[in-house]
Structure 1
């Protein structure tokens, strides 16, 4: 038995997972205001113990705990995270103060790639990629059946620039892909569009601007709102810019898109995205065709992948 933990910018999610990748129990708690690394690690240990017992397993009987971290990791340490104030945190050592269970750390999007590879959209492939659209943008790559994880800092695809001198990213650069194609970026662009279109249905869909989300633009576009439709097209253009870059570099058999934004209706997201990919990717000029799909495991991908990390390394 294994526990997989997915550390997000908003929530901490954990699951008890068996050898076949089946989720036997899950828990989710809010990350809440950051109160220091010791408090953060204690919460992770408490969450591990709770979800283990939910599944009828003593925490000490776990094979290991796998953790997906939204940033760079190495040798049991969190090196840096962009959207949570974590840097140089010896998480494995701190965790051992609470539970005597081995800990494996990996980037959260890498964990999602592992989960989808073994149990979701990547089954049967040899070279596979995942892009997660959430608070930021993460990427994970399975190459030759193994996770590509160079020095704990691979897969930071959200920080390639797609708009030179564009909006400032949390990493300090301007125009990073995640400032335009993450859920956070889409929310920012939605608010900007609303300010210039006071009669748009975007206002109604967001309860007068008080509840703007990554779904707001798509919901209004489905109702025929012109400003929302134009915004969705702009968003897909930005999303496609990064997707095509990745396909050209890696040439995976399948690239899966996960995260909350990926749940948007196909007619507004996946269909136009595939049209751009088929037109612009290098493989399209050579008689090939990249397969872009939605991830299959939803919010469970990172949990399952974290739990199955040892298989992919």
Structure 2
């Protein structure tokens, strides 16, 4: 039995996972205000122990605990996180002092990729890629059946430039993929479109502009709104630019799209995305195939992948 811990910007989740990758018990609590490294480690350890006991397992009998972190890590240390103020934190050692079992750390998108690889849409592949569309854009890659980690710094796909001199990114560059294809980028472009067209249904779908989300534009497009439809096309073109780059670089057998936006309607997101990928990817010119699919596991992918990390490192 294993515990997978998923550290999110809003919630902390712990799942008890068996050899087959099945979630047997889940605990979730709000992240809350960060009180420091020691209290944070103690909270994670307590959450892991509770999830184990919920599944009828003594925490000391766990094979190990895997932790998905939204930032750069080694297997033992958090190098840097943006949303939680931690840098050079020996989190594995701190957790072991409470749990007395081995602990592995990994980037959260990498963990989600591992989860989908073993229990989701990546099953049966040797080379698999996952792109997560959320506040930013994350990426995880299984190459030749091993997680591509590069010392915790791999997979930052959101920071390749797709619009030279474009919108400023939090990383300091301009025109990064995540400034256009993340939920944050789509929300920004939705607001801009609303300001250009005061009669758009985007206003209705967002309660007069007070509740714009990554799904607002898709909801309005389904109702036939021309401005929303045009924005959907623009958004997919930006998403496809990065997706095709990844297909050309890694040639995965399957590339999955996850995150909140990844739940959008087939005809508005995946169908046009596949059309562009098939038209523009290098592999199709050589008789290869492009497989771009919707991720399967949703919010559970990170917990499952964290729990199964040892199999691909």
| TM, length-normalised to structure 1 | 0.96
Q: Deviations over 1:268-291 (max 9, x none)?
A: 000000010011101121122211
CA shift in 2, pair 1:41/1:298, >3 Å: same
Q: Deviations over 1:27-54 (max 9, x none)?
A: 2222233333333323212221221222
Structure 2 counterpart of 1:2: 2
Structure 1 counterpart of 2:272: 272
Structure 1 counterpart of 2:78: 78
- Per the TM alignment, residue 21 of structure 1 is displaced from its structure 2 partner at its CA by 0.4
How far apart, CA to CA, are the structure 1 residues paired with 2:49 and 2:167?
41
Structure 1 counterpart of 2:229: 229
Moved more, 235-244 or 207-216: 207-216
Q: Deviations over 1:129-169 (max 9, x none)?
A: 11111121111111111111111111111111111222222
| Aligned residue runs from structure 1 range 222-261, under 5 A | 222-261=222-261
Q: Determine helix, strand or coil for the equivalent of 1:12.
A: strand
Q: Does 1:58 align with 2:68?
A: no
How far apart, CA to CA, are the structure 1 residues paired with 2:13 and 2:48?
10
Moved more, 92-101 or 197-206: 92-101
CA shift in 2, pair 1:279/1:11, >3 Å: same
Structure 2 counterpart of 1:305: 305
How far apart, CA to CA, are the structure 2 residues paired with 1:131 and 1:153?
16
Q: Determine helix, strand or coil for the equivalent of 1:151.
A: coil
Q: Determine helix, strand or coil for the equivalent of 2:252.
A: coil
CA shift in 2, pair 1:173/1:34, >3 Å: farther
| TM, length-normalised to structure 2 | 0.96
RMSD: 1.4
Structure 2 counterpart of 1:137: 137
Native 8 Å contact 1:9 1:135 kept in 2 = no
Q: Determine helix, strand or coil for the equivalent of 1:126.
A: coil
How far apart, CA to CA, are the structure 2 residues paired with 1:33 and 1:182?
25
Q: Deviations over 1:171-221 (max 9, x none)?
A: 222221111111121122222222222222112111222222111111111
Unaligned runs of at least 5 residues, structure 1: none
Moved more, 70-79 or 86-95: 86-95
Moved more, 31-40 or 243-252: 31-40
Q: Deviations over 1:215-272 (max 9, x none)?
A: 1111111111111111111111111010000000011111111111100000000000
- Per the TM alignment, residue 108 of structure 1 is displaced from its structure 2 partner at its CA by 1.0
Structure 2 counterpart of 1:180: 180
Q: Determine helix, strand or coil for the equivalent of 1:24.
A: strand
Native 8 Å contact 2:75 2:106 kept in 1 = no
Structure 2 counterpart of 1:68: 68
How far apart, CA to CA, are the structure 2 residues paired with 1:232 and 1:36?
42
How far apart, CA to CA, are the structure 1 residues paired with 2:65 and 2:168?
35
How far apart, CA to CA, are the structure 1 residues paired with 2:134 and 2:299?
11
Unaligned runs of at least 5 residues, structure 2: none
Deviating 4+ runs (over 4 angstroms): none
- Per the TM alignment, residue 65 of structure 1 is displaced from its structure 2 partner at its CA by 0.9
Structure 2 counterpart of 1:147: 147
Q: Does 1:44 align with 2:67?
A: no
CA shift in 2, pair 1:221/1:129, >3 Å: same
Structure 2 counterpart of 1:106: 106
How far apart, CA to CA, are the structure 1 residues paired with 2:44 and 2:38?
10
Q: Determine helix, strand or coil for the equivalent of 2:272.
A: helix
Q: Does 1:27 align with 2:52?
A: no
